[in-house]
């Protein structure tokens, strides 16, 4: 027993935070890998004119993630965060390999890959829900902002990793290139599994199961002060008690009562706008976008995803620097305005100058990605984590996550269909209009959460509910 205790004691807080957030690498890798794999897959399976199948193959992961996140949240309350992260890593490994060995059976191959990627999406959605939950329960309160930034950095680093792997494999025979790109996703999943084997369970889950001694031991790994440990244990117990009472008093209809409606609409709306603004159309399809703009083969344009990935990583680091220096609303509105103009201006320029350099659109897409990377990408989840009162937090956060995944899935599905039927400048202009609508939404419907306690934010919702109740015509 003493040997085991000593072995556990060697777990450093840096190790816990690194592998606690490493699931973001999986999430990011699978968002990005299809970007490079798709041109080779299209050529190998002759899908160049099958826009709907291409959309389904690309978006199948996001469709599975809609259900994976909700399922993982419920199961983690029963079995623990750590066990569910381990299970997600196993599922990710299995279905990554099955994606890479897809049989060549004509059109049936596409349907096989769609189903396998949907099942893979269960693990992606689970990782996206479990990693922030685990990190928030392990991190000290003063470090939660920075560690939420670490999770975002891990996600975009996973995307960059997938873009680099795609680029390194691009000179292989086409039928091998895309299979290795998809199959190699099993490697970071294996690293995650081996790392999480040494991680402790969340102290909050341990307390919920009545194991206070083990919860205290886990906190001793990541807190320096015994008094701090005692204070945090007492705080966790009180919060758990309040959550149990809240869950007994609320239902889905509570979310849309006068008291909470304002905050629920704000949080869910921001989560939905983040995806419907079209960011994933760039992340999934940038080689095909460049191909359509320039006429160069998509498989020869795999340097562009790396450029996007580098911008995303730099942007995540910029966010960690400015996160607490500017209001949330200010960053969202400035970011959304620039993103919208980056999508709309190429269509305007092309209309005024039909001989516009085709790479102009790619330059504007880089500007879009730069502003997205330090505004809407990280801030959506910071705001969702802050805006919902305790009584509705579980249900409202799940609803926001579901709308976000639905938006991600729909953008991945319909973008190739839209670009097959209209100029891509027009498609991006539509997304640009949605960006501007998002700015208007933030201006009129979203409260400022920076520097406010959860109680103050809830009071804003309560006051807005009273105003609406007294002025129903508004």
Distance CA 201, CA 195 (A): 13
User: What's the confidence (pLDDT) of residue 78?
Assistant: 81
User: What's the confidence (pLDDT) of residue 6?
Assistant: 42
DSSP, collapsed to helix, strand or coil, labels residue 81 as helix
Q: Which domains does the chain have, with CATH numbers?
A: 13-199 (1.20.1250.20), 250-474 (1.20.1250.20)
∠ Cα 394 463 323 (to 5°): 60
DSSP, collapsed to helix, strand or coil, labels residue 218 as helix
User: What's the confidence (pLDDT) of residue 470?
Assistant: 52
Nearest to 95 by CA among 114, 76, 74: 114
User: What's the confidence (pLDDT) of residue 107?
Assistant: 75
Beta carbons within 10 angstroms of residue 296's beta carbon? 13
User: What's the confidence (pLDDT) of residue 399?
Assistant: 85
- Return all residues near 149 (Cβ < 8 A) that are at least 6 apart: 316, 319, 320, 323, 378
For residues 376, 163, 292 and 314, what is the CA-based torsion angle, rounded to 10 degrees? 40
Mean pLDDT per 10-residue section of the chain, whose length is 474 residues: 43 80 85 89 88 91 87 80 90 95 85 95 86 75 65 88 93 89 94 91 83 85 78 78 66 74 90 93 88 75 89 90 84 96 92 82 92 92 78 77 89 91 91 97 89 68 58 49
- Return all residues near 10 (Cβ < 8 A) that are at least 6 apart: none
Distance CA 250, CA 211 (A): 28
User: What's the confidence (pLDDT) of residue 5?
Assistant: 42
User: What's the confidence (pLDDT) of residue 376?
Assistant: 94
What pTM does this model have? 0.82
Nearest to 435 by CA among 356, 371, 381, 385: 371
User: What's the confidence (pLDDT) of residue 179?
Assistant: 95
């Amino acid at each position: 027993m003493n040997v085991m205790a000593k072995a556990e004691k060697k777990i450093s807080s840096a190790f816990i935070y690194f592998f606690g957030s490493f699931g973001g690498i999986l999430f990011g890798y699978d968002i990005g890998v299809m970007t490079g794999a798709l041109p080779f897959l299209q050529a190998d399976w002759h899908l160049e004119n099958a826009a709907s199948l291409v959309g389904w193959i690309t978006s199948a992961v996001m469709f599975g993630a809609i259900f994976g996140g909700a399922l993982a949240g419920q199961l983690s309350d029963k079995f623990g965060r750590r066990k569910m992260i381990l299970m997600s890593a196993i599922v990710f490994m299995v279905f990554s390999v099955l994606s890479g060995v897809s049989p060549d059976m004509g059109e049936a191959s596409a349907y096989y890959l769609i189903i396998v990627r949907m099942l893979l999406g269960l693990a992606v959605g689970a990782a996206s829900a479990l990693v922030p939950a685990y990190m928030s329960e392990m991190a000290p309160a003063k470090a939660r902002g920075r560690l939420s930034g670490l999770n975002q950095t891990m996600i975009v680093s996973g995307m960059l990793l997938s873009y680099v792997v795609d680029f390194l494999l691009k000179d292989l025979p086409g039928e091998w290139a895309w299979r290795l790109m998809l199959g190699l996703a099993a490697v970071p999943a294996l690293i995650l599994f081996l790392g999480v084997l040494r991680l402790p369970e969340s102290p909050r889950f341990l307390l919920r199961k009545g194991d206070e001694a083990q919860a205290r031991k886990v906190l001793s790994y990541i807190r320096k002060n015994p008094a701090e440990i005692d204070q945090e244990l007492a705080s966790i117990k009180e919060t758990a008690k309040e959550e149990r009472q809240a869950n007994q008093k609320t239902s889905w209809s509570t979310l849309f009562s006068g008291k909470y409606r304002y905050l629920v609409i704000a949080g869910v709306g921001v989560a939905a706008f983040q995806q419907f603004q079209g960011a994933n159309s760039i992340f999934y399809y940038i080689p095909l976008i460049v191909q359509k703009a320039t006429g160069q083969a998509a498989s020869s344009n795999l340097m562009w995803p790396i450029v996007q990935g580098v911008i995303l990583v730099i942007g995540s680091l910029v966010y960690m620097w400015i996160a607490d220096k500017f209001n949330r609303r200010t960053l969202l509105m400035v970011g959304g305005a620039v993103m919208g103009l980056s999508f709309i201006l190429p269509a305007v320029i092309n209309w005024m100058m039909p001989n516009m350099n085709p790479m102009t659109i790619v330059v504007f897409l880089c500007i879009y990605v730069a502003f997205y990377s330090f505004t809407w990408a990280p801030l959506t989840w910071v705001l969702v984590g802050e805006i919902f009162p305790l009584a509705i937090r579980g249900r409202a956060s799940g609803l926001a996550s579901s709308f976000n995944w639905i938006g991600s899935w729909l953008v991945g599905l319909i973008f190739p269909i839209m670009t097959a039927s209209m100029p891509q400048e027009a498609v991006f202009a539509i997304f640009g209009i949605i960006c501007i609508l998002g700015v208007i939404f933030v201006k009129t419907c979203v409260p400022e959460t920076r520097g406010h306690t959860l109680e103050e934010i809830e009071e804003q919702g309560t006051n807005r509910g009273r105003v609406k109740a007294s002025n129903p015509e508004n």
